Amino acid sequence: MAALTWWTALLVLLVLGSIATVVVIERRSGSRPGTDVDPTKAVRVIRIIAILYAVVTVLGTVADALQRLLSDAVSVRLPVKPFWPSLPSTVEVTGTTADVVGGGFVHAVVTVAGLDTATRVWLAAGDALQGTTNVVIAVVVVLLCTSIIRRDPFRPALTRGINLTATSIIVGGLGWQVCDAVAGGLASSQVLRATGWSLDTAEVDWTDIRQVIGLPMEGHEWTLDFWPIWVGLALFAVAAVFRYGQKLQRDSDGLV
């Protein structure tokens, strides 16, 4: 299941912008005598897409979480200490024109068998947070579309819904990163924390230099992407705009 990345959050903002545009078009078309334009058609399409997305996300989240908990082998982002395969000093490589002198791989996406229960729970929790955040966003989009179709785009419930979406993106976006980081660290320890090694032959017969790959050391990846905070703050600003619209609507109703 794909995570709620920055482009997904951007899509949410674009949907909100599209809805706002439709509201403006609706007001303008309503002020033109004799117009047959139905500006809510686009909103109805958006609502259907959001409903389908929510249903698919719920099913996908449940399936992913169960797979993490019950499957023999699971996919995991495995952090490692910066690693680059090294060759024995007696090996001379020809044909290369540059050498790696630092850095290397810092993680690998692998399928691992034999993870303990704690690691699987952390992985499943990350999937659950991703899915819940996406479902909350979809539900709020459905509420927005429904309000526009009913000609009531500034209901207080919508402001609360947008605030809930902003909170969900911040908490969920940071939360599943923490879950994935913890799960990755635990998996890295279980896969790479070797306490010894042995050979069943006195000599290893390498037929291709690319077979000499070595073994990386366990690592941890605690870097967090803070885009959920900025997206959440942007949605809080959108909620403030809706509150202002509610005030204008109340003032307008009082003049009628």
- What six digits make up the tokens of 136? 């909350």
Quote the tokens at residue 42.
């686009």
What's the structural domain count of the chain? Answer: 1
Question: Is 93 within a domain?
Answer: no
Q: Is residue 98 part of a domain?
A: no
Q: How many helices (H) and strands (E) does the chain have?
A: 5, 2
Residues 135-175: tens digit of each pLDDT: 888 888 888 888 778 776 666 777 887 888 889 889 988 99
Helix, strand, coil share (%) of the chain residues, nearest 5:
60, 10, 30
Residue 153: name the closest of 241, 232, 251, 234 by CA: 241
Strand locations in the chain (E): 73-83, 105-113
Going by C-beta distance under 8 Å and a sequence separation of 6 or more, which residues neighbour residue 42?
18, 22
CA dist 109 → 106, 112, 171, 187, 206 (Å): 11, 10, 25, 11, 26
C-alpha–C-alpha distance, residues 139 and 205, integer Å? 60
Q: What is the pTM of this model?
A: 0.72
Decide if 241 is inside a domain: yes
* Cα(13)–Cα(19) distance, integer angstroms: 10
When mean pLDDT is compared over 98-107, 139-148, 209-218, 240-249, the highest value belongs to 98-107
- Round to whole Å and give the CA distance between 109 and 218: 14
Give the 3-state secondary structure of residue 113. Answer: strand
pLDDT in tens, 32-83: 555 555 557 777 878 888 888 888 888 888 998 999 999 999 999 999 988 8
- For residue 233, is it within any domain? yes
pLDDT exceeds cutoff 80 at 251: no
* CB-based contact 217:80 (threshold 8 Å): yes
Residue 221 lies in a domain: yes
pLDDT at 86 over 80: no
Provide the residue range defining the domain that includes 38: 6-87+103-193+214-255
Tell me, yes or no, whether 82 lies in a domain: yes
Residue 244 within a domain: yes
Q: How far apart are CA 151 and CA 145, in angstroms?
A: 10
Does some domain include residue 160? yes
